[in-house]
Amino acid sequence: MNDEQLLRYSRQIMLPQWDIAGQETLLASRVLIVGLGGLGCPVAMYLAAAGVGQLVLADFDDVDLSNLQRQIAHGVADIGRAKSVSAQQSLSLINDDIDVIALTDRMEEAQLLEQVSLADVVVDCSDNFSTRHAINRASVATATPLVSGAAIRFEGQVSVFDPRQTEAPCYRCLYAEESDENLTCSESGVIAPLVGIIGSMQALETLKLLAQVGQTLSGKLLMFDGLTSDWRSLTLPRDPACPVCAP
């Protein structure tokens, strides 16, 4: 690292669990973020600020006025622009020391598999089950750690699915693909700061995975109730009959 990088990341480097080695690992890492909406915005902004060397932003949607209540990487001037491009520009203002790649097309399974295989961690910030299950299949197939988050109304959850661990569950162990529960913010609403809370937790779990510090949420589901400000942690066992990750 040069002197400017040492100063920029000094507050992380001084952490004994992190040190220069942790920061250098971060600068050499690549993270794929799928979805640049309410969750993806804080995830991308914090990972950029922290110094992840390469961020790949994948979203085929455009910025809409109704997004601005919670999607903090976008502004009024970005309405009508691709979310990934809008977020890319916002991240460049936060940290010009990293490489940010914007993907604006809907990824088919083969392209998703390729992008996940290139990443050290994939962060699922999407808002529908079909995309989440597609990301999970790619994560398991490529043994790439997956950081998953969801937020709706006043409730949020976050977990880590790490296929490198033999006893760790995958997303399919938790939710069946045929589930008909596919709530969206446009239909059910969401309080603005909730996505920031869950997205920040996703960013933290991503940094821990990359630098291999602390304990991640692998095998756990962390749930947050915004109305009571209560956190609850559940243990997630691996489904021995899971059609995705079972040996």
pTM: 0.95
C-beta of residue 165 within 8 angstroms of C-beta of residue 143: no
- pLDDT for res 181: 56
Residue 188 pLDDT greater than 90, yes or no: no
Q: Which of 133, 151, 218, 223 is nearest to 190 (CA)?
A: 151
Calculated CA dihedral for residues 2, 97, 149, 79, nearest 10 degrees: 160
Q: In this structure, which amino acid lies at residue 204?
A: L
Q: Are strands 146-152 and 220-225 parallel, antiparallel or unpaired?
A: unpaired
Q: Which of 10, 44, 41, 47 is nearest to 27 (CA)?
A: 47
Domains and CATH numbers, the chain: 18-235 (3.40.50.720)
The residues, ordered by sequence, that sit 6+ positions from 178 with a Cβ below 8 Å of its Cβ are: none
The whole-chain average pLDDT of the chain stands at 95
Torsion region of 120: left, alpha or beta (phi above 0 gives left; psi -120 to 50 gives alpha): alpha
Q: Element (H or E) spanning 101, and its range?
A: strand 99-103
Give the range with max mean pLDDT: 1-5, 177-181, 224-228.
224-228
Residue 145 pLDDT greater than 60, yes or no: yes
Residue 184 pLDDT greater than 70, yes or no: no
The residues, ordered by sequence, that sit 6+ positions from 229 with a Cβ below 8 Å of its Cβ are: none
Residue 65 pLDDT greater than 80, yes or no: yes
Please compute the mean of the pLDDT values over residues 81-85 and round it to a whole number: 98
> What share of the chain has pLDDT > 90, as a percent?
91
- pLDDT for res 39: 97
Question: Model confidence over 132-141: pLDDT tens digits?
Answer: 999 999 999 9
